[in-house]
Amino acid sequence: MESTENTNEKNKKQKILIIVLLIAVVMLGVGLFHALHSDDLETSKTAVIVQTNEELSDTNGGQVRIRINSAVQVYEDTMQDLAFANLNEDRQLQCKIKVGDTYVYNSGLIKSGDIVQADVIDTSALQQGKNTATAEIYSYDMGKDLIGQTNTIIALYLND
């Protein structure tokens, strides 16, 4: 009878251990997911950000005001004159630049009134001279919920 009790206790301990390990794995997975996806919206740590003197627009009607240079010079892995501006008072913007199927830049969230004048870019997908790229502009409300997206074509000029 004692061996049956010992076996039952061992089974209970094993079940508890398995449950604890499963909970730990789930928590690790949730933490990893959050870590991988939260950085996407954080402002680039290498961006040169300045404040605009332009009047900001209240875009409650669904329109969005942005400014971005259509011809961007790239020197030594840095976009010198991106001039990506968030001219809206009620939303944050994010700019992702893609060449072909490869993303070469992610601004993270840009606050109302801020301009990304220059920033580091991944030049591994760029060729010398003119590169046609798509600037994907994502619009978020102040709670970081996605409102909409628009694209524009820009040229990246890679120089030595």
85 lies in the same domain as 142? yes
32 lies in the same domain as 60? no
| Torsion sign, CA atoms 68, 110, 48, 130 | negative
Burial of 41 (0-12, 13-18, 19+ CB in 10 A): middle
pLDDT in tens, 41-94: 565 655 555 555 555 445 455 677 889 999 999 999 999 999 999 988 889 999
87 lies in the same domain as 144? yes
pLDDT at 128 over 90: yes
> In terms of residue numbers, what domain contains 55?
44-159
Average model confidence (pLDDT) for the chain? 83
148 lies in the same domain as 88? yes
31 lies in the same domain as 49? no
Q: Measuring CA to CA, which residue among 90, 89, 80, 79 is closest to residue 54?
A: 89
> What's the rounded mean pLDDT across residues 24-47?
62
Predicted model pTM? 0.67
C-alpha 72/C-alpha 157 separation (Å) is: 6
104 lies in the same domain as 75? yes
The CA-based dihedral angle spanning residues 147, 111, 56, 66, taken in that order and rounded to the nearest 10 degrees: -60
